[in-house]
Every structure is written in C-alpha cells, then in structure tokens.
Amino acid sequence: MRKSTSIAAGTVLAAGGGAIAYPLFFRRWCLTWGARPGEVSMKLPSDELLADPGIVSTRAVWVDAPASSIWPWLVQMGPGRGGAYTYDWIENLFGLGMHSADEILPQYQDLQVGDAQRLGKHGPLLRVAVLEPERSLVLRSDDGNWVWAFSLVPEHGWTRLISRNRIATPGARLPVRLFNLLVMEPGSLIMERKMLLGIKQRAEDLARQAETQPL
C-alpha cells in the first residue's frame, strides 16, 4: 500500500514538475524549432487570416534545393493524396488515412485556391486560402480557428522552408488549455519536425535527380 502510494505521489510530482518546466524552459524552443528569430517575428501572408490566435508556432528547415523541387511535395500533401511525410502510423491511429508518397504524384499537382480536404471523418476542413507557386501555400480551416502556412524563401542557393501554425481555441476550458499546452504542443513538434525533414529529404533527392539527368 505504501509502495503504491509512493509511486502515485512520485507520478503526481513528476507531472507537476513537467507542467511547470515546459512553459518556463522548453515551450519557446518547441514552438520555434529550427526557426531563426527574424523568421519567428516576420509577417507571413497568412497572419491576417487569424488575427488573435491562442497558439502560434513557427518552425523551419534549410533545404539544399530550389523552391521548384520543394513545391510539388507541398501541393500534393493531404489524406488520400501524398500524405504528410511524417509518422503515418500515428496519423492513422486517428483515422486520417495518411500514406506518405516518395514520388511526385501528377494527379495532385493542380491545386487551386478554394480546394478543400478534411482531416479524418470528423476533423477540420482545411481549404486553400493562399497559393503563390514556389512561394507560399496557406490552408485555413472553415471554422476560422486554424491557419497553416508554408513559405519558401531562397537564400544563398538554398531554400528556407518555413511552417507557421496559428490556432485559436475560443471558449476552451482550463483542462482543454492544459492538454493543448502540455500534450498537443510537444506532440505537434514531434510530427512537424518529421514532416519538415521528410520534405527536405524528398526535395533534395529530387534536385539531385534533376542535376544528373542528361540534357
């Protein structure tokens, strides 16, 4: 009895310590992984679509490839399309039907403003709000509470791939806000880091293939 009580007390203390440590020491790193200070503060084309978000994350990677080698992977993303280039098995635990492609899928390259896709049977409907080829792709949920932007910025022969999420949770109660803070935010880093690195690898492979193809 005493042992189980000690374990329970230790678990509560560890959880409490994590709840304190994350906002103080790890949250900024989690929400800005890979991004430089100027990228975190820079205005993106999507920012005005959700003026007062509760959560903002800006994450980025260097890609040793031109924007033209990155863009096809972005426009084919989505369930039943090119997937999300992250941990498919985790995505599919939630019924999202993600199957990450390792090749360009021509049938999904003609993306247009207004095109929509739903994340799972009961998930949000994301609609293309901004589409500037090889520069900017912005998705916005129909309820207006989520804006997800990808920006491609050429720099020194490389490309910065920047992903920004702006999320509002109007009327969320304290348990929901705590869950978002302590579970969803760190979880989003795990998934988005894998996604960005997955796009980076695919784009760099595509650029190398283009360089070796005979004229």
| pLDDT at residue 19 is higher than 80 | no
Question: 71-85, 115-129, 169-183: which has the minimum mean pLDDT?
Answer: 169-183
Decide if 60 contacts 39 (C-beta within 8 A): yes
The answer to whether 63 and 70 have CB atoms below 8 angstroms apart is: yes
Residue type, 131: L
CB of 87 closer than 8 Å to CB of 75: no
Q: Does residue 3 carry a pLDDT above 70? A: no
| In the chain, where the domains are located | 32-212
Q: Over the chain, what is the mean pLDDT?
A: 89
Q: What percent of the chain has pLDDT over 70?
A: 89
Binning pLDDT at 50, 70 and 90, where does residue 182 land?
A: confident
The mean per-residue pLDDT over the stretch 79-95 comes to: 93
Contact 140, 167 (CB under 8 A): no
Closest by CA position to 142, among listed 161, 125, 130, 118? 125
Q: Which CATH architecture has domain 32-212?
A: 2-Layer Sandwich (3.30)
